Structure formats: C-alpha cells, structure tokens
Amino acid sequence: MSNLSDISDVATTHAAALAEARDANNRQIRNARLSAALRYVILFGVGLLMLYPLIWLVGASFKTNSEIFANPGFLPNSPTLDGYQKGWETSTPYTFGRFFLNSFLIIVPKVIGTAISCTMVAYAFARFDFPFKRVLFSSVIAILLLPNVVTRIPQYILFRDLGWLDSFLPLWVPSAFAGDAFFVFMLVQFLRAIPDDMEQAARVDGANSWQTLIYIVVPMLGPALISVCLFQFMWTMNDFLGPLIYLSSVDKYPVSLALKLSIDTTEAFEWNRILAMSVLTITPALIVFFMAQKYFIEGISAGGVKG
C-alpha cells in the first residue's frame, strides 16, 4: 500500500512539476517572443532612421524647389528632371561630367599606387628580417594614430616648393609611398595568417623573391587587396580637405569640391540642383559598396577602420 501511495504521491508531484514546467516554458516562450518582437521593432526603427534621409534625398532631387521644404514624403507630387539638368550644367564653364572625370583621374593612380606600395611593404614586414623591424612596425601603428592635422602644413609647404600646387601630384604621391598606414597594417595581418609553404616551394623551384611575390603572394592576398582598393576608392571619392587645400583651378576640381562650389554659387532657392548633384556624388560609392559588400565588412571586421 505504502508503495502505491508513494507512487501516487510521486505521480501528483510529478504532474504538478510538469504543469509548472509547462507554465514556465510557456512564459519563457512568450517572453522570448516579446523580446524578439521588441528587437525587430528597434532594428526596424533604427533602420528607418538610417535610411530615410537617403531615401528622402533621392525623392527630393526630383521635386520642384517649392516642394522640397513642403513635402516630407518620398514621392514628388510633380516629378521633374529640372534639378538634374540644371545642376549638371553648373554655373561654371564645365559640366559635372568634367568633375567626375577629375575624380577618377585622382582615384585611379592613387589606388594603383596604394595597392603596389602597400603590398611590397607588407611583404617586407611579413616575410623578411631586417634591422629595426620592430621599431619600424611600431611606426606603422604610430602613423595610424598620428593626427594628420600636425603634418598638413609642412606637407603643403613641401608641395608648394616642388611646384606641385594645383596639380594632382600632392594627392597621388604620398599614397604611392605606402602613406596609408591602415592598409599596410591590414595586409601585414592578413599575410601573417597565411603559412609560407607555397613560397618555400616556389623558392626551391628556383623562383626569386620578386617572382614569389607576383605569382604566389599577390594571388593569395587577393581578397585583402580588393578590400584595400575599395576602401581607397571610397575614401578618395569622399576626400574633401585634400583637394580643397591643393587644387585651385575649377577645371581640376573633383566632385566633392564641385558640390561645395555649387552650394556657394547657386541661387539661394535652387535647392533641387544641389540635391540632384548630391545624389550623383554618392552614387558611385553606393554602387561599389553594394557590388562588393562582403569585402568591406570583412575588411573592417579584420582590421578595424576609421569611419
């Protein structure tokens, strides 16, 4: 009998425990659902805050000037290409096409110079031994943290003495000497993580260090090099202070300066021209970003980045 009552006792406590557990479980699921919902609400809200200004910008660039400050919505009431047509013409003898061309004339040599010099330097740091290696590598990190503001004035004087003012040279040359320490750092980290077996094998087969670099190391660095080029493209496209200091003739202006110029010279109420040109200015960067997103995310996750 006692056994039986024991069993029934156990059964009832068991049932009670089960019910309690079920309740707790339900409560947990409910809580989990609630907090998941809350998270989506927050993320969606923040996402809207992030993107709506950009969405509004695109819509507003097709609005008439009177509508820009009257309609907070995205869709224009009476869409017009007026902003694009007149904005493209600019108030200078040049169209925005010229300024885009200038931007690319600055960007392309700069990106190539960056890629070549940073690869060589990263190869040296990751695969060779030389005097003061530690100190020199620390200097890479020091430059990474060194505020440009302190070297800018003497650099300007140097480029003036060389007669390089109002040319693209001050914008190209420092990058061709591995001046962007962040990229050197990123490539060194990447290269250190790759074992050098392949390079050893190539050397056994009689390849010299230059051939090893070109045929073995560069292909392995592929994704990291793409990140370097993309970041440099983006930063140069957005760079404003460099061109502002060094370029003085309008026919050499990149888009960033041209946009500033159009703010200064456009009639105070011709807002849609400026907004339209703003849209065009950010378009190349957006296209590149969406085409190559994974390189950006990997690039900054790996090395951390300014921005």
Chain centroid to Cα 63, Å, comes to 29
For residues 127 and 191, is the Cβ–Cβ distance under 8 A? Answer: yes
Least distance CB 84 / another protein (angstroms):
14
249 binds another protein (CB under 8 A): no
Nearer to another protein, 7 or 70 (CB): 70
- With 0-12 CB in 10 A as exposed, 13-18 as middle and 19+ as buried, what is 119? buried
259 binds another protein (CB under 8 A): yes
> In the range 8-27, which residues lie near another protein by CB under 8 A?
none
Least distance CB 31 / another protein (angstroms):
11
Nearer to another protein, 11 or 48 (CB): 48
Nearer to another protein, 6 or 20 (CB): 20
Q: What are the tokens at 117?
A: 């010099």
136 binds another protein (CB under 8 A): yes
Pick the piece of the chain touching another protein (CB under 8 A) from 3-11, 35-43, 77-85, 90-98.
35-43
281 binds another protein (CB under 8 A): yes
67 binds another protein (CB under 8 A): no
Nearest C-alpha neighbor of 229 from the set 119, 118, 111: 111
> In the range 142-181, which residues lie near another protein by CB under 8 A?
143, 145-158, 160, 174, 176-179
> In the range 212-231, which residues lie near another protein by CB under 8 A?
213
Task: Specify the residue for token string 């070109």.
Answer: 214
Round to whole Å and give the CA distance between 299 and 102: 27
Round to whole Å and give the CA distance between 142 and 144: 5
DSSP structure string for 276-304: HHHHHHHHHHHHHHHHSHHHHHHHHHHH-
Pick the piece of the chain touching another protein (CB under 8 A) from 16-24, 77-85, 101-109, 253-261.
253-261
274 binds another protein (CB under 8 A): yes
Chain centroid to Cα 300, Å, comes to 8
Q: What are the tokens at 213?
A: 């670099």
Among 15, 39, 201, 215, binds another protein (CB under 8 A): 39
Nearest C-alpha neighbor of 102 from the set 243, 307, 271, 290: 243
Nearer to another protein, 98 or 170 (CB): 170
Least distance CB 108 / another protein (angstroms):
19
> In the range 71-130, which residues lie near another protein by CB under 8 A?
71-72, 117, 120-121, 123-125, 127-130
Question: Helix, strand or coil for residue 1?
Answer: coil
196 binds another protein (CB under 8 A): yes
DSSP structure string for 127-147: H---TTHHHHHHHHHHHHHS-
Chain centroid to Cα 30, Å, comes to 40
Nearer to another protein, 12 or 211 (CB): 211
Pick the piece of the chain touching another protein (CB under 8 A) from 21-29, 53-61, 79-87, 220-228.
53-61
Nearest C-alpha neighbor of 124 from the set 80, 49, 34, 188: 188
Pick the piece of the chain touching another protein (CB under 8 A) from 8-16, 103-111, 221-229, 283-291.
283-291
